[in-house]
Chain A
Amino acid sequence: MNAFFLPLLGGMIIGVSTLILLLVNGKVAGISTIFWNFCTSKSMESTLFIIGLPLGALIAYSILGVSQPTLPGNTSLILLSGFLVGFGVNRGSGCTSGHGVCGIGRFSIRSIVATLCFMASGIVTVALFGVNP
């Protein structure tokens, strides 16, 4: 088992989730959009998907024995970063899942452009401000 096995497996599991949502429910698995629908319209479909996210992670940590990462505690950084992420995904109509996985999976030029933008911007931000201690 090398360092690439779990990322590849996890990525494929994420892909399976998008496959089920698309082929069965006819929906795109864009987390930022589903979260927005959950907050604004409270539809049962988006609510249950959002509840599923921490549940699935909990299964990985407690049953499958995946090591559980803790968040670095820096409240002002958390609030600033969370605000920028929320502002950006709403303005850009999508995040890593909606543009990066589903959009590119549909060969959408719009999503490819969005993904290149947030990847490049993330790389520049880390180059400028460094990583969490």
Chain B
Amino acid sequence: MISFVALVSGIIFGLGLAVSGMTDTAKVQGFLDLFGNWVPDLMFVMGGALIVSVIAYQISKKQIKPILRNAFDLPQNKAIDQKLITGSVIFGMGWGLYGLCPGPALTHVLSQDGLFFVVAMLVGMLVSFQIKKFI
């Protein structure tokens, strides 16, 4: 049942990405092109997603446990450290350079270019994972 819910929620997530325009690199770069031809559309994606996500979290605080598990599995790390900052800055560089973040990239995985992106992304994750052990 947990796996089925994961599949359904993955499908809904992918549907939302496509409907919102997040899978279109031109729209994403247009949104980031604040000092050029700024396209504000994608601001509404985050706005719409946040409205529902805030409600979801408020409901979860009143639930004793999620429906199918005995406890919520929420990130506990609160540290604002150099890894968070440098990692997010590097992610933003990659995002701006081509216009894809991980979710939209995965919706494109059936195309050759999308697959290239996802494989490069995995390589980047593995390299970072090794480097994180030292710095």
Contact = CB atoms under 8 A, between A and B. Distances in A.
Interface of A: 3-4, 6-29, 31-32, 35-36, 39, 44-46, 48-61, 64, 66, 68-73, 75, 77-93, 95-106, 108-110, 113-115, 117-127, 129-132
Interface in B63-88: 63, 65-69, 71-75, 77-80, 83-88
B51 A78 contact: no
A91 B21 CA distance: 27
Given A35-B121, A57-B15, A77-B97, 4 more contacts: A6-B20, A82-B105, A110-B84, A132-B98
Contact of B44 (A4, A18, A39, A59): A4
Contact of B53 (A77, A102, A115, A121): A102
B132 A91 contact: yes
A6 B34 CA distance: 21
Contacts of A4: 41, 44
A120 B92 contact: yes
A125 B103 CA distance: 20
Interface centre among B35, B73, B94 (most CB of A within 10 A): B94
B13 A56 contact: yes
Nearest to B103: A31
A20 B35 contact: no
Contacts of A78: 98, 113, 116-117, 120
Contacts of A36: 125
Contacts of A26: 65-66, 68-69, 71-73
A18 B95 contact: no
A98 to B, nearest CB: 8
A96 B3 contact: no
Interface centre among A56, A59, A120 (most CB of B within 10 A): A56
A8 B20 CA distance: 7
Given A50-B106, A54-B107, A106-B74, A23 B25 contact: no
A60 B125 contact: no
B109 A81 contact: no
A125 B91 contact: no
B99 A15 contact: no
Contacts of A68: 18
